[in-house]
Amino acid sequence: MRRNIALITISLSLFACSYNKDAQNTEMSLFSASGDRIENLIKSTSDKPIFKDSLPYQIVKFYRETKRNTNPVDSSKYAYMRASYPKFGAVHKFLNNKISAIVSAEPWTGNKAYNIEKAAEFFFKEYFEFSKEIPDSPAGYSSDNDILVISQDTNLVVLRSESYIYTGGAHGLESIIYYNMDIKGSKELTLKDLLVDNYSNRLTNIAEEIFRKDEGLTASESLEHYFFENQIFTINENFAITHKGLLFTYNPYEIKSYAEGITDLLIPYSKIKELIKPNSFISKYVN
C-alpha cells in the first residue's frame, strides 16, 4: 500500500495550484500547520530525543514559472513549480540520489524525470495542453514541495516530503510522505526491517485500538464512515521513525474526505515491544 500512496503523492507532489499571494500564503500555512501538528503529537508523549550525530546539509531552493499574462484579469493563468530540499555532502551519494528522485518525479506517473528541470518541463507541457483544452479556465497550475529533515540519529535520516498541488478543479491536494533512510546500508527502511516476522496482524490490532481511541470510537463501532476497504481497518506503510514511536500518516482521500484532511496515528514503542527486532533502528528506543 505504501508504494501506491507514494505513486500518487510523489507524482502529485511536484505539480500544481493556481497562483495568487493569498493562495500561496494559505499553502504555506497548511504546511506549517502539518509540521506543527506532527511535532506536537510526538512531543506530547516524549522524553528527550536520542540524537547521537548529525550530518550537515544545505537547503537547495528551486523555482520556475511560465510566462505571465500582462492582462490583470488573467494574472493567475500561468504555471509554476517551487521546491526546497536538503543536499548533503558528496560522500552521501545514495541519500542525495534519493532526494533527487523525489523532487524530479515525472508528472502524473511518478517515473523519474532525470532532474527537476526536466520535471518542470513536463509539468508546464501539461499546463499548456490544459490551457488549450479549456481556454476559459481562470486557474493556473502550481506545485509546492518541501523536503524536510525531521530527525537524524546514528546512520538514520528521516525525511518528510510536504506537497500541495493544484491542476484545476475545486481545490488542490496536500500530502505528506516519509522516508526513513539507512545511511550505512544505503537503503530506505520498511516495516520488515524494524519488526519481527509475521508482525502484520498484531501491529494492525494495536494500531486499530489506538485509532479508535483517537477517533472516539468504541471497539465494536462500524468504520462505515471511513474509506477502509470493506470497513476493515488497515495501516499503510507511510511512516516515520520517531524517538517515541512509529508515526503513520493517512493523506486526504486515503481514509477520509478532503475536508477532513490528514490523519496521524502514533504507535508508541511501549505498545509494540514484542514486535521490535533486536538490534534494529528502533530497538534502542525501548526501555
Question: Beta-carbon neighbour count of residue 236 at 10 Å?
Answer: 17
The answer on pLDDT for 220 being more than 80 is yes
CA distance 92 to 89: 6
Cβ proximity of 269 and 244 under 8 Å: yes
Q: What is the pLDDT of residues 59-92, one digit of tens each?
A: 999 999 999 877 776 778 899 999 999 999 999 9
3-state secondary structure of 128: helix
CA distance 74 to 68: 8
27 pLDDT band (50/70/90 cuts)?
A: very low
Q: What is the pLDDT of residues 199-210, one digit of tens each?
A: 999 999 999 999
Q: What is the pLDDT of residues 148-176, one digit of tens each?
A: 999 998 899 999 999 999 988 888 889 99
Nearest to 258 by CA among 266, 250, 270: 250
CA distance 17 to 246: 31
Cβ proximity of 180 and 188 under 8 Å: yes
CA distance 167 to 173: 9
